[in-house]
Amino acid sequence: MKKLHILASVLVVLSLLLAACGGGAETPEETQPPVEQPIETQPTEPAVAPAEDKLAEVMARGILIVSSDPAYPPQSELVPNAVRPADTKCATDQKTSAELQGFDIDVSVEIAKRLGLEACFVTPDWTLITAGNWADRWDLSVGSMTITPERMQNLFFSQPYYTTPAAFFVHTDNTSFTQPSDLSGKKIGACTGCTYDAYLSKTLSIPGEEINFIVDDAVFSGYETDSFALDDLALGDGTRLDAVLTAQPTGVQAIQSGKPLKQLGDPVYFEYLAAAIDKAHSKDPTSFVQKLTEVIQQMHADGTLLGLSQKYYGLDLTTAAGEFDVSLLGQ
Amino acid sequence: MAVEALSPPVGQPPDPDYQMGLDLMAFQQKQRRILSIKIAVVWLVLLGFVISFLLFIEFDFAYVVENAWFIIKEGAKWTIIISVVSIFFATILALLGALGRLSKNSIALGISGFYVSLFRGTPLLIQIYVIYLGLPQVGKSLALLGASLGLPFLSTVGDWFILTPIQSGVLALSLNYGAYMTEIFRAGLQSIHHGQNEAAVSLGLSRWQTIRRVILPQAVRIIIPDIGNQFIAMQKDSSLVSIMGVWELTYMANRMARKDIKFMEMFLLAAAAYWVLTIISSWLEGLLEKRLSHAYER
Amino acid sequence: MNAKPLIQVENLHKWFGMLHVLRGVSFTVQTREVLVLIGRSGSGKSTMLRCVNFLEEPSAGTIQVGDVVVGCNPGVQPDDKDILAVRLQTGMVFQEFNLFPHMTVIQNVIEGLTTVKKMPKDKAVAFGEKYLAKVGLLEKRDVFPIRLSGGQKQRVAIARSLAMEPKVMLFDEPTSALDPELIGEVLDVIRELAYEGMSMIIVTHEMGFAQDVGDRVMYLENGIIVEEGLPPEMFKDPKDPRTKNFLEPIKKYHTL
């Protein structure tokens, strides 16, 4: 009898370990394409060779794996009923450039093109992207990510590819607010953990920019995403929120879609948005980051990025980003 | 079954009051039919409320019809795959866990008790995060250890810890639901009368043979409805894997909603899809339950 | 009688918590002998029977069944192999029948043969049918227990035990859960076994039956054997006042 119990407990442990280690054995075949994670499945080279170069590895692989959460139109959104190109090199659990669209997606495809690669996308949650420690699951994030000191602890940033002006939006019915400083002490919504949150709590610091905190003692109301905050604001002036702090393009788009909102004053600060690369990649990412910066600088120089900015936002959001001195980041 | 009584018993003199029995049966059948009709009416009225709610919120039916197939085809596929695979592994874990909980061995008791306590006591979402983000770091440390010890195979082992989103989700759901279901299995195994155990061991069956041949087959019948319940809950909890970028139902609905600012439409479409999935699961569970109760029908 | 008894129990103690249920009982059963245990509820007679095949683990004492001797002491776990050897030589019949409800009658009867003795299925079925015929229930071979009467269930349970070909049958109040009109069919089966020379220990409240089939009767009270003897003498003229006390009201209403 005793032996049986020991056997049972060993089985429990083994199954836990098996589940942990040999995940491949646990999930059905159809969810497990044989080459979905080319980094890990190259048996010939040990994963921990510090001399190995991230750029060389990506170039050898032939695809650039980009993370982008299609939750943020017009930067990134999904394409209904898209057809995957037949000749794609992307793994089955990666998305092709046909299945996603938006400013970030176009930028990603252009970066990949200039590297001679095909862009393939994975779509993890924003929290997982900014957390770093990507375990080599993807190469870079092209997700309109603002350069912040906190993120720089985990991530390297390329030359920014555009900027986002942050602006306050209020309900159209409102007449009492005329400028952002009128919002002191008011109930303001924004996404939790993002730069707007940090701005309202006066902890935001953007490398290369002097920030002027105009609003005091805001009653912060956190949202999973900006669009929920805008939805709540649209319910009525002061119903749930007095104002929302969000990206100017996001707010403008909400207005264009018919929400009863208006922008309050000029943008309060600018965010520099760049591609991000995990510092914890198992292969040295230094030359990869450099190469990305070069490519993005080229895209600024030849007007490609300006063109995309005009296409998606009807605005020039890129010139300031092209002028940004990436060496100021000191990474 | 009442219907069987309609033919008079063989070999007995005819009952002079036979018609009374027939009348009674007919009356009972009529009452049952009236009850079903009344229930159907209540359902229709409630559905009417739901539909009028949709009309109040200016629900865009055309948009839903246009996009339903795309959302469901891609989304439901992953929801179903992930929940089916996870309930399978959760069931195995629950069985092992329950055997551990019921054993007298200190190691088995310790492991199963710790397992249930840990995975039932922490949120599924955090388990997903830890498995997805944390395990690769364990693998990395292993690889580093291997490099310093001159054991290159450890880096291969380390790579196994980098789970894909689907694998992480299945692992987290299996472990989490396995812990809940351990208690269900334990109660199910314990609910079998001790006389069954005594009869089996008297015949010379070992403890494991007794569980496998006598206790488990009877317990399964009691446990199946609870597994069905857990499966239904799991289908909805499987939406948590969307944080890793798996395009299951909730993810698809959410991202479509953001694209076209059609939140109510997409959320309600997803809700309806989950509802239909769970109705199908309940029906399948009922079929299974009926099959297993064959031995218990007079 | 043989020199070596089939069953020899020496100084058997059983504690349930701080309750001393068996206080050092010793007894023997010879081959082909039928021993009947009588006594009040809670006297320890069922516990004593259940200790013989280790359904209850004896707290102390020695149990010998056939060639297997198992010594029990507080804090010492008997060997699983020895327990199995004892159980394979004893057949147990319970008050509540304990048929396996998810198996048909024939599956119940051959379960021990196929799972424990690893007998091939066709051979086991032939074997099982033989014993079903013996208890008169061959025609019920493919029904589930729920469709049997109590008496039929108990007869199947007896066939299930007999199929294992034990050296001794243990009956733990085999008719106590039965409706009065169904008791006879079960007693008839047991009686027939007795005539064929099966060694048995029977715990029962059926005094007439006890007198009829018993080679020896034992009266237990408070965990000790108060008196034992030949059935006719014991029922007619019990020596011990405690036995008298127990049998008196029974004799008043039944002719023994």
Q: Residue A27 — very low, low, confident or very high, per pLDDT cuts 50/70/90?
A: very low
Q: Which of B105, B193, B194, B202 to mutate to test the interface with C (most CBs of C within 10 A)?
A: B202
**DSSP-assigned beta bridge partners for residue C200:** C34, C169
Closest approach of chain C CAs to the CA of B1, in angstroms? 14
Q: Which residues in B lie closer than 8 A to residue A128 (C-beta atoms)?
A: 129, 132-133, 243-244
Rounded to an integer, what distance in angstroms lies between the CA atom of residue A77 and that of residue A93? 17
- A16 chain-B contacts, CB cut-off 8 A: 115, 175
- Please determine, for residue C195, whether its predicted confidence score (pLDDT) is greater than 90: yes
Distance CA C129, CA C105 (A): 10
Q: Which 3 state secondary structure label does DSSP give B193? A: coil
Q: Are A163 and A321 in contact (CB under 8 A)?
A: yes
Q: Which range in A71-85, B139-153, C100-114, C237-251 is most confidently predicted, on average pLDDT?
A: C100-114
- What mean pLDDT is reported for chain A? 83
**Are B85 and A80 in contact (CB < 8 Å)?**
no
Average pLDDT of the residues in B92-118: 95
Are A225 and B258 a contacting pair at CB < 8 A?
yes
In the three-class reduction of DSSP (H, G, I as helix; E, B as strand; rest coil), residue C10 is classed as: strand
Q: Are strands C216-221 and C199-203 parallel, antiparallel or unpaired?
A: unpaired
Residue A28: the pLDDT is: 36
Q: What angle do CA C103, C104, C106 make, to 5 degrees?
A: 115
Average pLDDT, chain B: 91
First and final C-alpha spacing in chain C: 27
**pLDDT for res B10:** 65
d(CA A154, CA A146): 13
Q: What angle do CA B91, B93, B97 make, to 5 degrees?
A: 115
* Average pLDDT value for chain C: 93
Parallel, antiparallel or unpaired: strands A100-101 and A76-78: antiparallel
Q: What is the residue extent of each domain of chain B? A: 66-294
DSSP C115: H
pLDDT of residue B9: 59
pLDDT in tens, A57-74: 999 999 999 999 998 888
pLDDT grade, residue B12 (50/70/90)? Answer: confident
Within 8 A of B99 by CB-CB distance, chain A residues are 5, 8
**What pLDDT was estimated at residue A271?**
85
What's the number of CA atoms in the CB half-sphere (13 Å) around residue A175? 0
Q: By the 8 A CB rule, do A66 and A95 touch?
A: no
pLDDT in tens, B160-214: 898 999 999 999 999 999 999 999 999 999 999 999 999 999 999 999 999 999 9
Fold for the domain defined by B66-294: MetI-like fold (1.10.3720)
At C33, the pLDDT band (50, 70, 90 cuts) reads very high
Closest by CA position to A225, among listed A264, A186, A269, A194:
A194
ipTM score of complex: 0.92
Q: Is A157 helix (H, G, I), strand (E, B) or coil?
A: strand
Q: Are A173 and A194 in contact (CB under 8 A)?
A: no
What pTM was estimated for this model as a whole? 0.79
B10 versus B296: the higher-pLDDT residue is B296
Name the interface residues of B facing C (CB cutoff 8 Å): 193, 195-196, 198-206, 209, 213-214, 217-218, 221, 294-298
Calculate mean pLDDT across residues B34-52: 95
d(CA A317, CA A300): 11
3 state DSSP class of C93: strand
From chain A, the residues in CB contact with B258 under 8 A are: 70-73, 77, 225, 227
Paired tokens of B19: 């018609």
Q: Does residue C47 carry a pLDDT above 70?
A: yes
Spatial distance between the Cα atoms of A118 and A90, rounded to a whole number of angstroms: 8
Which two three-digit tokens encode residue B283? 């029906």
Is the pLDDT at B227 greater than 70? The verdict is yes
Interface contact B93-A15, CB threshold 8 A: yes
pLDDT, tens only, C205-234: 999 899 989 999 999 999 999 999 999 899
What is the DSSP pairing of strand A140-146 with strand A261-278?
A: antiparallel
What is the structure's pLDDT at A146? 86
- Among A22-26, B146-150, B235-239, C209-213, the least confident range: A22-26
Mean pLDDT along residues A264-269: 88
pLDDT band at residue A253 using 50, 70 and 90 as cut-offs: confident
Q: Do B207 and A4 touch (CB under 8 A)?
A: yes
- The residue of chain C with its CA nearest to that of B212 is C115
Q: Inform me whether the C-beta atom of residue C88 falls under 8 Å from chain B C-beta atoms.
A: yes
Work out the percent of chain C whose per-residue pLDDT is above 90: 87
> Given this model, what pLDDT does residue A35 score?
37
pLDDT tens-digit readout, C8-24: 999 999 999 999 999 99
Structure confidence at residue A47 (pLDDT) = 43
Q: Which of C96, C101, C146 sits opposite B218 (nearest CB)?
A: C101
Buried-state track B156-178, b at ≥16 Cβ within 10 A, e below 16: bbbbbbbbbbbbbbbbbbbbbbb
The predicted model gives C96-104 an average pLDDT of: 96
d(CA C14, CA B225) in angstroms, rounded, equals 41
Domains of chain A: 54-163+272-325 (3.40.190.10), 165-270 (3.40.190.10)
Note the pLDDT tens digit of each residue in B242-287. Answer: 999 899 999 999 999 988 888 889 999 999 999 999 999 999 999 9
C116 contacts B204? CB cut-off 8 A: yes
- For residue B127, the distance in angstroms to the closest alpha carbon of chain A comes to 13
State the burial class of residue A290 (Cβ atoms within 10 Å of its Cβ: 0-12, 13-18, 19+): middle
